[in-house]
């Protein structure tokens, strides 16, 4: 997958009717390596928090997971990618994109 260049069009993410069409746009919004790495760390910590929720039964781990996932991602977008997260306009597709990109990083389809 080519994500070497940032997405430069003014495409409104709400115009996508299918996730398959949205995902290339999503990857273009994550062309900065540090942004992708922060997403990866945040997603990994989210999974740890969900595991802690299951093990301990303490609901605060759900909050911690949300803070990790979105906190790291937003630092990546605002601090490094210099764009606004698509989750503000297309939350479900963006959530799905986070996890597909996470898998794609693990499998080497998206550079870490």
Give CA–CA dist 51/45, Å, rounded: 10
* Helix, strand, coil share of the chain (percent; to 5): 70, 0, 30
The predicted structure's pLDDT at residue 3: 61
- For the cut 90, the answer to whether the pLDDT of residue 9 exceeds it is no
Give the pLDDT confidence of 100-110 residue by residue, as tens digits: 999 999 999 99
Give the pLDDT confidence of 17-76 residue by residue, as tens digits: 999 999 999 999 999 999 999 999 999 999 999 999 999 999 999 999 999 999 999 999
Could you tell me the residue ranges of all domains in the chain?
Answer: 19-106
């Amino acid at each position: 997958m080519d994500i070497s260049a940032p997405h430069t069009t003014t495409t409104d993410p709400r115009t996508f009717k299918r996730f398959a069409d949205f995902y290339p746009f999503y990857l273009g919004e994550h062309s900065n390596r540090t942004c992708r790495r922060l997403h990866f760390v945040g997603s990994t910590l989210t999974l740890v928090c969900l595991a802690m929720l299951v093990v301990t039964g303490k609901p605060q781990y759900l909050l911690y997971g949300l803070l990790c996932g979105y906190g790291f991602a937003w630092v990546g977008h605002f601090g490094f990618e210099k764009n606004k997260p698509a989750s503000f306009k297309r939350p479900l597709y963006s959530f799905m994109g986070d996890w597909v990109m996470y898998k794609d990083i693990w499998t080497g389809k998206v550079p870490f």
